[in-house]
Structure 1
Amino acid sequence: MKKEIPKAFDSNIQEEKITKLWEESKLSNPEKMESLLQKKGIDIKESFTITLPPPNANANLHIGHMCGYSFQDVMGRFNRMTGHPTLLLPGKDHAGIQTETSFTKILKEKGIDKWELGREKFYDMCYEFSLKNAANARAQEKNIGLSADYSREYFTLDPKLTKIVYETFYKMFEEGLIYRDKRIVNQCPYCKTALADVDTEHEERRGIFAYIVYPFVDKEDREIAKKTFGTEGITVATSRPETMLGDTAVAVHPKDKRYSQFIGKKVLLPIANREIPIIADEDIDMELGTGAVKVTPAHSPIDFEIGKKHSLEVRNVINGEAKMEGDIPERFIGMDTLECSKALCSELDELGLLTDIQNIKHDVAVCERCRTPIEPIISNQWYVDVKPLAKKALEALKSKETYVIPKGQQRALEYFFENIQPWCVSRQLWWGQRIPVWYNGGKNLYDWLRENEGKTVKEYEKESGKKVNGTGEIYLGEEAPDSSGIWEAETDMFDTWFSSSQLPYSTLGGIEGEGYKQYYPTQMMIHARDILYWWSARMMMMGIYRTGKSPFGVVFLHGIILATDGSKMSKSKGNGVEPSEMIGKYGADSLRLWYFSDALPGSNAPIREEKIKGNRNFVNKIWNASRFILMNIDESEIEEISKEDIDTKSKRVQETEKHIKKISKYL
């Protein structure tokens, strides 16, 4: 009987049928696949596993997510076809600050104030919001053809995963790898939290470049400077005059002949009227600005390192809301940084100490979510000492236990491990996994006693002017150790990457879980190049720390999808492309095929709708050819062919086998 099939190929109808067929087969579940192979008497090969990068549960998936799944899915399907029980493990990320910012914005549009809701109500509503987005993302994943095992789908705030994250925290704390410290952090004044570098971006903004004279303290030095420079001091150039109130030195290069005679001398910090030294530092660029650099350890990451090197005083003069504070002239206290900058320039000009001021355009670090300029501040936070962890991760790369594709990115990852800095894992948020710590007498007391080793609670009370009920001890646990009421809960949340870095083993039940024994370590990690240091690097460090093994054998990096003009897609620019639009017009397979052909490892790919359309037309030709054959031949005319009837020595079969081996080599 001849088959009747539709004249036109409808990708939506056909792909839905195919998706349903795969779901009914249950082959995405590795245990079900293993059982099927056993029934058929087929040898079971080693399992193959990829922990899929969990998309943020705060919005619909974008075109980059959808295309990234194409690489992961093709590896999964290839390994199933070659007899490996395969686990593509899906999940959704609670995404800390990204979700909190998105949900806060939605509430604001509805006229609801986050602060009026309170932490508990906000958290519950945010949880519900995230689960709805997770369900939408799951439907989109299935729409692109992702053959993941959804019976195992996880959410990063699942209690089972949180339990493992807490176990890691307790272990690291006991071993001295996690600690509180006062260091410089990226602070978002609007979101009111510390940020990781990955949570910031750079934007070109208008600003100023001010040239300010710092007069020498000694009369003889002033006279020499007057003859040498035409001023009675040393001139520094800065784009942030407001930070000068926190200066504790001026640095010059030791080989800079202009300033060598002044090294060790002192200048008077204008307006603040404090004496600060001129120091020599080989990291100073003699060609930049005037070659003399104001050093503000509390408000510049570079200056912070200079300050540590030279044991400089650290003076905090800007708080987390970008307001002026601290030991500064009273008239500036409470001003925002821009207001203070203008006021200082005006006063410096009146004093004859502002020699020049230029309007400039320069790169400014901003919060990825709200676009507020980042304020580097000194803050007490929780840190991980990652150096010993990075050393072992580096060994895994060098021994080829794990390697990176493309190769050039492997050296970049090695360099990252070689130069790694302490990892700040605390965030001042309401959404996420609360750091399980309790403070006896409050966090301020604990931090003060830690910073002032050897001092007592009474001395804290005297200095702070506050009476406290407590000892300054801390307790680690989800609940307070007793009901005395003197224990204050830590309100900070873990950095999202702290939990995400543990996914390869936490999603398998931890190191005691049955899934762990079967599927850890995984074979591959596939994700975009831009999160190599933030995710794969940290998964390697945490995986080796908890299990003794690197969590994956291969890290395959793909680029990001760009707009047609090669720029980054952005909602604000209006140049984004909705995945549903592309799939609706051309089908998921056409989109996937375009990505395979255009997205080279580690390279970004501008979206090419014409190519996607061409792929749809190609599929249509195959459909029409198949339709022609099926409509012009009866099934009764086709003879059955057994395996034994196939001539394996024929040129066609041998050529096919040769191409299969060649293609398989690259998968």
Structure 2
Amino acid sequence: MAKSFEPAEIESRYYPEWEKAGYFQPNMQSAASFCIQLPPPNVTGTLHMGHAFNQTIMDGLTRYHRMKGENTLWQPGTDHAGIATQIVVERQLDAQGISRHELGREKFVEKIWEWKKESGATITEQMRRMGASVDWQREYFTMDEQCSGSVTEVFVSLFEQGLIYRGKRLSNWDPKLGTAISDLEVVSEEEDGHMWHIKYPVVGSDEFIVVATTRPETLLGDVAVAVNPIDARFTHLIGKTLRLPLTDREIPVISDDYVDAAFGTGLVKITPAHDFNDYQVGKRHNTQLINVMSLEATILAKAQVFSFDGDALGSIDLPAAYAGLSAPAARKAMLADLDAQGLLLETKKHKLMVPRGDRTGSVIEPLLTDQWFMAMSKADETGQSITEKALQAVATGEVKFVPENWVNTYNQWLNNIQDWCISRQLWWGHQIPAWYDEDGKVYVARNQEQAQAQAPGKTLRRDVDVLDTWFSSALVPFSTLGWKPGQSTPELDAFLPSSVLVTGFDIIFFWVARMIMMTKHFTGKVPFKHVYIHGLVRDGEGQKMSKSEGNVLDPVDLIDGIGLEALLEKRTSGLRRPETAPKVAAKTKKEFPEGIPAFGTDALRFTFASLATLGRSINFDQHRCEGYRNFCNKLWNATRYVLMNVEGKDVGQDKSLPLEYGFADQWMTGRLQQAEHDVTTALDTFRFDLAAQGIYEFVWNDYCDWYIELAKVQLQAGNEAQQRATRRTLVRVLETTLRMAHPIIPFITEELWQVVAPLANAKKTASIMLADWPVADLSRVNEAANAQVESLKALAFAVRNLRGEMGLPPSQKTPLLLEGGEELQQYAAYLVPLAKLASVTIVAKLPEDDAPVAVAGSTRLMLKVEIDKAAELARLSKEIGKLTENLERIKAKFEKPGYLDKAPAHLVEKDQGLMVEFAEKLAQLQSQLAKLQ
């Protein structure tokens, strides 16, 4: 073995070997199957901390179940990411002075495929750096032939079932991209704005009302003004008519509970073609929809009027002065005209949430557009809607959420669901399988030949829109396993439903719910049995990691290390506000004064596992990586020690030779069983934090800090049978521990296991990932041995504390006297090295002198050294004070009325035990103090 652990060399050597040997592939033989679908990252993406975190969890689960002998598949893939990918390639073309419109759709899509082939797989290579044991032979891309075929089949089937339709509805419109986008792609942030108070004259009187609005440019599309029906200030206005400022139109005053009487002026203008809330109000009151904006977010010359059924009702002339103006320019011009006409009463500063496209930063406009929708509440032939099926799957426990409280979020979203806008006005994506004739009649078919068969003799043109990326992503659980209607495949039989989905809470609705809907509807099965929802990875201060804020960490930088200058360049190059660069740089220098050292993959994975609590946020602290890198070094050095002491020697493989296990060996074997049980339970319940904690404490504390030190004594002083048993315990516990830790730290465990396993006579497999998962046998826990080790630990701690209080250096070996019977003799040989002693002597009673005395349990012990009497008196007095304070605190609990009735029985019992223990120690120390005085 190398003297030190060098992660980079080990990682670069083992991963290609694993992949080439096919260890990641399912065996398709085992009765039990385990499957995870990788949430497909965008093909445009690079590995970020959220990816690295959830891939650590997924890989840990996959390796665990593979070692349990299950038919294990972790299915990888990438998403075509319609908007994100189109933007990337458009920007590349812009840099060359070429627009996609000059190229045309076909050539532009070819450019995207070229880009995808050359540089679109960055994230999959980075996944390999994280040790992801995915079956790369089954890697999919959501635009590949199998996935695309499934998308077409599902769309046509849903259309034929009446669950997909085309209509004119309100949607999030990004005027810069020229497409509708999903709610997930809208980022609403608080910005400084204004609230304008505008007079609306009441027709037939001198009276006017005052309406407060943050968007006066949409005033031209108003169809009513609403008041709360119980607002006594305005009930007399209900049913009256107002003259709409800047126009010749009149609009009614209506009443609706939507209006908050306490906000603004208590009067709300209703513009259903340009506001989602107003749309619902207008629908309830059967108003018209008046669209005043173009797709470029400019004011039209003629407003388009529609019914809520999407029927065109004509047009309305708008003031020519505003035609063609952008929304901000129109706002400025209209406010000036309102002021000139005496209709602008007041302007107030106001904080408001402004929706912006997460890709473009442009203000999102709610606009009426022709889109394809999926009916979410319409019943199919089973009498249930696709949403009801998804709700039922969770209600009946077919799909379970971990933590369970996320069920509430899931239910809340689905119970308030709206029809899903599934079309996008892009060129990259799954083109909608619909064709139109000269009259605009639509024909939905699996291909153009089928569409033409529906429209004989007519000239057809294909719909230019593509489907929302989430539509194809929703099919991943079955489309990636070879699904075709009415047919089965071995993969579908084995891996649907998959075992668990590991994802963040931010896409429960957008992805998790839709996968349940689609899979249940088309296969009758749920897509997965469990949904493990983890928190979002934030920086050490709890802030969201963002390139625009300059606080991101690149997982690969944590693996390989990065210098300060390169780190500063990364963090300051993509800032939303360049003026914050000095602040970002200062913070980075404080946090990473010398850059980021190389921690290696295993240390990073262990850090992620330890942070995998059931909370909403995961605050990442790189100092924990240092601690887990030290853990890897500890494991490496412990293995080197074991190998140096057992190689070439009998490690108990010859069953004809006697083995004599001491209490330390029996304790170690029992502790291993308990650790196996605890880690297995933690992994079965998705508590990676507890699994990591269990492995860490067992390896660092029990095995390295205690058992190896006790084994040194046994190897030096024991007889042949004792030494043989010790060596056997050392290697067998280490070999099992490496298997137990492998799902979290795969590289170092593989390297060490390859040399340890033969010595431990372990079952021969080519790789640790193919070895058996350790199964606990709690009958091997020896309570007597546990008690003996605890007594030994108590004695060692007592001596160490005494030495520390006396200021004795480690180099000063001192004799120790133990007061008690011969049963203490079993600890003597161990205490000498553990407590840096010259000797240990068992006496019936400690001598009456001034030497320092301590108490461990019921045992008194004395260090035979010359002491400073005053210092010893001070030490004893301080210890007595602490014990007295602890004793009084517990007594106060018992004196508190109702404590014995209300407190849990086990806590009362614990406090009673502590009270007796403290009282005994206190009596002993007071006796010592009295003697010294």
Number of residue pairs aligned between Structure 1 and Structure 2? 613
Amino acid at match of 1:498: F
Shift of 1:18: 3.2
Equivalent residue for 1:368, pick from 334, 338, 358:
358
Whether the 8 Å CA contact 1:251–1:284 is kept in 2: the answer is yes
Residue 527 (str. 1) matches residue 503 (str. 2):
yes
1:616 maps to what in 2? 629
2:42 maps to what in 1? 56
Amino acid at match of 2:469: T
Matches within 5 A, 1:458-473: 472-473=441-442
Between 350-359 and 375-384, the greater mean CA deviation after superposition? 350-359
2:161 maps to what in 1? 175
Equivalent residue for 1:408, pick from 391, 405, 410:
405
Q: Provide structure 2 residue ranges, at least 5 long, that are not aligned to the other structure.
A: 304-315, 378-384, 561-597, 685-933
Shift of 1:63: 1.9
Residue 242 (str. 1) matches residue 242 (str. 2):
no
Shift of 1:300: 0.2
Amino acid at match of 2:640: R
Shift of 1:24: 4.5
Residue 303 (str. 1) matches residue 278 (str. 2):
yes
Residue 664 (str. 1) matches residue 640 (str. 2):
no
Equivalent residue for 2:325, pick from 314, 317, 335:
335
Between 317-326 and 204-213, the greater mean CA deviation after superposition? 204-213
Cα 1:109/1:570, change in 2 over 3 Å: farther
Matches within 5 A, 1:78-477: 78-219=64-205, 222=206, 232-325=207-300, 326=303, 327=316, 328-387=318-377, 388-441=385-438, 445-446=439-440, 472-477=441-446
**In terms of Rg, which structure is larger?**
2
Cα 1:107/1:635, change in 2 over 3 Å: farther
Shift of 1:203: 2.3
**1:112-153 alpha-carbon deviations (Å, 9 max, x no partner):** 322222211111111222233443222111110110111100
Cα 1:88/1:642, change in 2 over 3 Å: farther
1:13 maps to what in 2? 9
SS in 2 for 1:31: coil
Cα 1:635/1:124, change in 2 over 3 Å: farther
CA distance in 1: counterparts of 2:105 and 2:343, whole angstroms: 49
CA distance in 1: counterparts of 2:609 and 2:540, whole angstroms: 17
Residue 550 (str. 1) matches residue 566 (str. 2):
no
2:741 maps to what in 1? none
1:453 maps to what in 2? none
CA distance in 1: counterparts of 2:119 and 2:552, whole angstroms: 19
Cα 1:133/1:567, change in 2 over 3 Å: farther
Matches within 5 A, 1:593-612: 593-612=606-625
Shift of 1:643: 14
Cα 1:602/1:114, change in 2 over 3 Å: farther
Between 418-427 and 206-215, the greater mean CA deviation after superposition? 206-215
Shift of 1:641: 6.3
CA distance in 1: counterparts of 2:372 and 2:266, whole angstroms: 36
Residue 506 (str. 1) matches residue 479 (str. 2):
yes
Whether the 8 Å CA contact 2:434–2:442 is kept in 1: the answer is no
Whether the 8 Å CA contact 1:556–1:601 is kept in 2: the answer is no
Shift of 1:79: 0.7
Shift of 1:475: 4.0
Whether the 8 Å CA contact 1:184–1:377 is kept in 2: the answer is yes
Whether the 8 Å CA contact 1:216–1:234 is kept in 2: the answer is yes
Cα 1:577/1:485, change in 2 over 3 Å: farther
CA distance in 2: counterparts of 1:358 and 1:300, whole angstroms: 21
**1:230-259 alpha-carbon deviations (Å, 9 max, x no partner):** xx2111111100000000000010000000
CA RMSD, 1 decimal: 2.1
CA distance in 2: counterparts of 1:354 and 1:643, whole angstroms: 102
Amino acid at match of 1:386: M
Shift of 1:361: 3.4
Shift of 1:65: 0.9
Whether the 8 Å CA contact 1:586–1:616 is kept in 2: the answer is yes
> Identity over the aligned pairs, expressed in percent?
37
Whether the 8 Å CA contact 1:45–1:85 is kept in 2: the answer is yes
Shift of 1:176: 0.4
Equivalent residue for 2:641, pick from 622, 628, 631:
628
Matches within 5 A, 1:28-47: 28-31=24-27, 34=29, 44-47=30-33
Between 655-664 and 552-561, the greater mean CA deviation after superposition? 655-664
CA distance in 2: counterparts of 1:531 and 1:473, whole angstroms: 33
CA distance in 1: counterparts of 2:467 and 2:201, whole angstroms: 46
Whether the 8 Å CA contact 1:267–1:275 is kept in 2: the answer is yes
2:770 maps to what in 1? none
CA distance in 2: counterparts of 1:167 and 1:323, whole angstroms: 38
SS in 1 for 2:491: helix
Amino acid at match of 2:3: K
Between 475-484 and 92-101, the greater mean CA deviation after superposition? 475-484
CA distance in 1: counterparts of 2:656 and 2:533, whole angstroms: 40
Amino acid at match of 2:10: Q
CA distance in 2: counterparts of 1:473 and 1:500, whole angstroms: 26
CA distance in 2: counterparts of 1:140 and 1:642, whole angstroms: 48
CA distance in 2: counterparts of 1:623 and 1:659, whole angstroms: 20
CA distance in 2: counterparts of 1:365 and 1:574, whole angstroms: 22
Whether the 8 Å CA contact 2:153–2:446 is kept in 1: the answer is no
Shift of 1:419: 1.2
**1:434-474 alpha-carbon deviations (Å, 9 max, x no partner):** 00110011xxx53xxxxxxxxxxxxxxxxxxxxxxxxx342
Shift of 1:51: 0.9
Amino acid at match of 1:263: I
CA distance in 2: counterparts of 1:140 and 1:242, whole angstroms: 48
Whether the 8 Å CA contact 1:559–1:604 is kept in 2: the answer is yes
Q: Provide structure 1 residue ranges, at least 5 long, that are not aligned to the other structure.
A: 35-43, 223-231, 447-471
Amino acid at match of 2:672: T
CA distance in 2: counterparts of 1:598 and 1:46, whole angstroms: 30
SS in 1 for 2:435: strand
Whether the 8 Å CA contact 1:434–1:492 is kept in 2: the answer is yes
Shift of 1:636: 4.2
Whether the 8 Å CA contact 1:57–1:131 is kept in 2: the answer is no
Whether the 8 Å CA contact 1:389–1:541 is kept in 2: the answer is yes
**1:583-605 alpha-carbon deviations (Å, 9 max, x no partner):** 11101111111111123235221
TM (normalized to structure 1)?
A: 0.88
TM (normalized to structure 2)?
A: 0.64
Shift of 1:484: 6.0
Whether the 8 Å CA contact 1:286–1:292 is kept in 2: the answer is yes
CA distance in 1: counterparts of 2:414 and 2:174, whole angstroms: 27
Greater fraction helix: 2
Amino acid at match of 1:368: D
**1:341-383 alpha-carbon deviations (Å, 9 max, x no partner):** 1111101101111010123332211001011110100111000
Amino acid at match of 1:520: L
CA distance in 2: counterparts of 1:610 and 1:270, whole angstroms: 62
Whether the 8 Å CA contact 1:48–1:87 is kept in 2: the answer is yes
CA distance in 2: counterparts of 1:576 and 1:485, whole angstroms: 56
Whether the 8 Å CA contact 1:186–1:195 is kept in 2: the answer is yes
Structure of greater relative contact order (alpha carbons < 8 Å, 6+ residues apart): 1
Cα 1:46/1:101, change in 2 over 3 Å: same
1:517 maps to what in 2? 493
Shift of 1:650: 5.3
